């Protein structure tokens, strides 16, 4: 693959990485804001029964999965994609 095509592929990959990071951080911010509100509502209006731990726990597991599968492993996915693209262009 020539330098120009390689540069374009790297720019596309970097843009996609940036987009994935933005989505993850938006998910993280909403997790903290909503769960803070849920904790406040639970402790203020119904302190005898603690229920906020359930959404906190299960949404936290979903957030971890988002981080692990969509954010942390993104470099491996892009290396595979880059290899596939470079193999495709070698044939030409």
pLDDT of residue 19: 86
Torsion of CA 73, 79, 80, 85, to 10 degrees: 140
Distance CA 66, CA 69 (A): 6
Contact 55, 35 (CB under 8 A): yes
Distance CA 2, CA 16 (A): 21
Residue-wise pLDDT tens digits, 24-72:
999 999 999 999 999 999 999 999 999 999 999 999 999 999 888 877 7
pLDDT: is 88 or 14 the higher one?
14
Of 1-5, 19-23, 34-38, 82-86, which range is least confident?
1-5
How large is the angle between the packed helices 74-90 and 3-45, nearest 10 degrees?
160
pLDDT of residue 92: 55
């Amino acid at each position: 693959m020539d330098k120009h095509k390689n540069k374009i592929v790297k720019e596309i990959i970097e843009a996609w990485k940036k987009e994935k990071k933005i989505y993850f951080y938006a998910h993280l911010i909403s997790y903290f804001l909503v769960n803070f509100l849920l904790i406040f509502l639970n402790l203020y209006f119904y302190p005898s029964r603690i229920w906020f731990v359930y959404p906190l726990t299960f949404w936290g597991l979903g957030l971890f999965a988002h981080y692990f599968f969509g954010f942390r492993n993104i470099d491996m996915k892009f290396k595979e994609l880059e290899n596939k693209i470079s193999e495709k262009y070698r044939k030409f």
